[in-house]
Amino acid sequence: MAEIAEGGGESHGKGKKRAKKSSTRVDMTPMVDLAFLLLTFFVLTSTFSKPKVMSLVYPANPDETQKEEPQKINNGITFLLSEDKIYYYSGQYYPKSAPGPEGPTVLEETNFGPNGLRKLLADRNAFVLKGKEGLDKKLKSKEIQDSTYLRMLIEFKKNKESLKVLIKTDDKATCKNFIDLIDELKIAEIGVIAPVDILASELELLNEKVK
């Protein structure tokens, strides 16, 4: 400690002046307290991982000038969401009033489990998944570059053989199921995903099924 010499010059004659011996140790407890307080504060208030996003491109609104019948899609599958259930039909939609070659469309039920939706999509989209596997191998053996890989993958997804997906929802579907479905579609490497409005007759069909 800083101490001022006391007692004026009295001590001059009395032997050596001794520096006071004080411990060099400081009590660190308050400092530790403070450090841990700050540590706790920062741990609790901070967020590390920035949120992740999943992009989804919606179909552009049709122009007023060129209103057409919806395009015919080859190799399409339509998912219908209601509450926590998911239904699908393949190909074109045929209402009861105008049945197609195989009669009116019948909805089939599936689920979000690995044996339901994921298997279904993997089977239907085998073309792209197989193509991707081949590309993965080539990428690993460095036959092709990253950019070529991405370009070829997109080409595969755009191919006629690849699966196209339409998503229709009724007014009881939840966002969770919608995102889960999109997620499954992304896992199955599906390139064309289009959330579209549900037709009145489809809604009826769906309501019958949900009951």
Partner 1 sequence: MPKIKMPKSSPSIDMTPMVDLAFLLVTFFMLAASFRSSEPVEVDVPSSISDKIIPDNVLLVTVDKGGRAFFNLADPEARRELLVNMSAKYKIGFSDEQVEKFTIMTSFGCTMQELPQYIDMSNEERKRLETKGIPYDSTNNELKDWIFYGNVAALNTGKTAFEEAKLKGDSPVADDFKPKFILKVDNKALYVHAQNVINVFRDLNLNNLNFITSMETAPL
List the structure tokens of 196: 């579209």
CA dist 86 and 193 (Å) reads: 16
Please identify, using beta-carbon distances, which residue of 1 and 54 lies nearer to partner 1.
54
- The residues of the shown chain that bind partner 1, judged by CB under 8 A, are 25, 28-29, 31-32, 35-36, 38-39, 42-43, 45-61, 81, 114, 118, 169, 171-180, 182-183, 186-187, 195
CB of 163 to partner 1, least distance (A): 18
Measured CA to CA, the distance from residue 16 to residue 117 in angstroms comes to 93
Least Å distance, CB 156 to partner 1, is 19
CB of 71 or CB of 97, closer to partner 1: 71
Q: Please give the Cα distance from 86 to 168 (Å, whole number).
A: 10
- Contact between residue 178 and residue 169 where contact means Cβ atoms under 8 Å apart: yes
Q: Which of residues 5 and 54 has its CB atom nearest to partner 1 in the complex?
A: 54
CB of 41 to partner 1, least distance (A): 9
β-pairing verdict for 76-82 and 85-90: antiparallel
Shortest gap between Cβ of 142 and partner 1 (angstroms)?
Answer: 23
* Residue 49: how many other CB atoms lie within 10 Å: 5
The whole-angstrom separation of Cα 80 and Cα 3 is 86
171 or 208, CB closer to partner 1? 171
